[in-house]
Amino acid sequence: MSGRPEIAVIGAGAWGTALAQLVASDGRNVLIWAYEPEVVEAINTDQANPAFLKGTDLASSIRATGDLADLAGIPILLAVTPAQVLAKILSGLADAPRDLVLCSKGIEAGTGRLMNDVAREACPASEIAVLSGPTFAHEVAAGLPTAVTLACSGGEAQWERLMPAIARPTFRPYYSDDVTGAEIGGAIKNVLAIACGLVDGLGLGQNARAALIARGYAEMLRFGEALGARPETLAGLCGLGDLVLTCSSTSSRNFSLGIALGEGKRADDLMVDRTTVAEGAFTAPVLAALAEDRAIAMPIVAAVNAILEGEPPREVVAALLARPLKSEQERRP
């Protein structure tokens, strides 16, 4: 790499690495921060990240570091860590005016904060944006056509700054200024994907899966409304779009986790040795608690949480089906 990087990526999992490859595809210098020293080494030595994105030859303009201090002065940072460690990692960054684009999907356990709340507190000088949508990392890394929501707290001026950095011929961001809506879609679809995987694992059929997607979307809309998200945001790529992708493919870690739970494996055993992140397992408890505190009817989210806590899936499903019949627009459980 010659010259100062214009973009940095924080987090070298599958998605951070794919985004680095995407933004480097026009020859831009990109610096990626990785948590594991061996990932830094593999990227700098072999232009590869076999631990998290096997089979991709990374662009020569991508370099890696394990030192957050190296990111100082870079005007655009893409934050792509697991949601539960974002606060800790951002607290290690020197605060400075810059564009901070949040690409993680989840809600912080313990605090109930969305990622933009986490980032505003850790990096008050930054302007926050949220990039979210139906995006399997391996497809983006392969240059397959993809579209996302890019919600900019800094409005159109920030969008104009970010476009040249992020849009590419096969990667189409769509503008929004609804940062909260963009985040809620991505966080909740992970929990609903576990629910749809459970349907597969339990052999409950495709009617049940379609019902869960539609009724899960109703839960997403109710939660979004309570937090001030716009329904049209949730009807877009970052909500419905991502729900459709993640609830129907074994490429989704969340969907696959649901299948394994439905087949009778225990959540504790499935989570213990994981190196990749299934965010829905961390979001489900905090989301279920937030919904209960605010009296937002989210029975599917509560059911997923109960199964993650060890309740037998078939009993949880039976209880879900035994609820009183009601209007499709009813807002109570």
Interface positions with ligand NAD (CB under 6 A): 11-16, 35-36, 52, 80-83, 85, 89, 103-106, 135-137, 276-277, 279
> Residue 237: which of ligand NAD, ligand G3P, none does it interact with, CB under 5 to 8 A by kind?
none
171 near ligand G3P, judged by CB under 6 A:
no
In single-letter form, the type of residue at position 22 comes to L
Q: Is residue 113 within the footprint of ligand G3P (CB under 6 A)?
A: no
- Per CB under 6 A, contacts with ligand G3P among 63-82 are none
105 part of the interface to ligand G3P, by CB under 6 A: yes
List the catalytic residue out of 54, 189, 265, 326: 189
| 13 has binding-site annotation | yes
- 189 carries an active-site annotation: yes
- Pair of tokens at residue 150: 């890019």
Question: Does 316 belong to an annotated binding site?
Answer: no
Task: Note whether 176 binds ligand G3P by CB under 6 A.
Answer: no
The minimum distance between CB 226 and ligand NAD, in angstroms, equals 22
3-state secondary structure 243-300: HHHHCCCCCCHHHHHHHHHHCCCCHHHHHHCCCCCCCHHHHHHHHHHHHHHCCCCCHH
Measured from the CB atom, the residue of 5 and 13 that comes closer to ligand NAD is 13
Q: Which helix (H) or strand (E) holds 227?
A: helix 206-227
- Choices 4-12, 134-142, 174-182, 285-293 (CB under 6 A): range interacting with ligand G3P: 134-142
- Count of positions (residues) in the chain: 333
Question: How many residues contact ligand G3P, by CB under 6 A?
Answer: 13
Decide if residue 217 touches ligand G3P (CB under 6 A). Answer: no
What is the spatial order of strands in the sheet that 127-132 belongs to? 62-65, 30-33, 7-10, 76-79, 99-102, 127-132, 146-152, 171-176
Please state the closest distance from residue 63 (CB atom) to ligand G3P, in A. Answer: 26
Backbone φ, ψ for residue 125 (5° rounding): -80, -15
Q: What residues have CB less than 8 Å from 7, skipping those under 6 apart?
A: 23, 28, 29, 30, 31, 74, 76, 77, 78, 165
Q: Which stretch binds ligand G3P (CB under 6 A): 85-93, 94-102, 130-138, 202-210?
A: 130-138
Axis-axis angle for helices 253-262, 299-308 (nearest 10): 70
- The answer to whether 252 contacts ligand G3P (rule: CB under 6 A) is yes
- Residue 262 CB, shortest distance to ligand NAD, in Å, is 21
Q: Which does 16 bind (CB under 5 to 8 A by kind): ligand NAD, ligand G3P, none?
A: ligand NAD
Bridge partners of residue 242, in order along the sequence: none
Among 29, 254, 283, 305, binds ligand G3P (CB under 6 A): 254
165 neighbors 225 (Cβ within 8 angstroms): no
Structure-block tokens of residue 161: 């700054």
How many Cβ atoms are within 10 Å of 95's Cβ, its own excluded?
12
Q: Binding site membership for substrate: which residues?
A: 105, 253-254
Q: Binding site membership for sn-glycerol 3-phosphate: which residues?
A: 105, 133, 135, 189, 242, 252-254
Q: Which residues participate in catalysis according to the annotation?
A: 189
Which stretches of the chain bind ligand G3P, using CB under 6 A?
105, 134-136, 190, 193, 242, 245-246, 252-254, 279
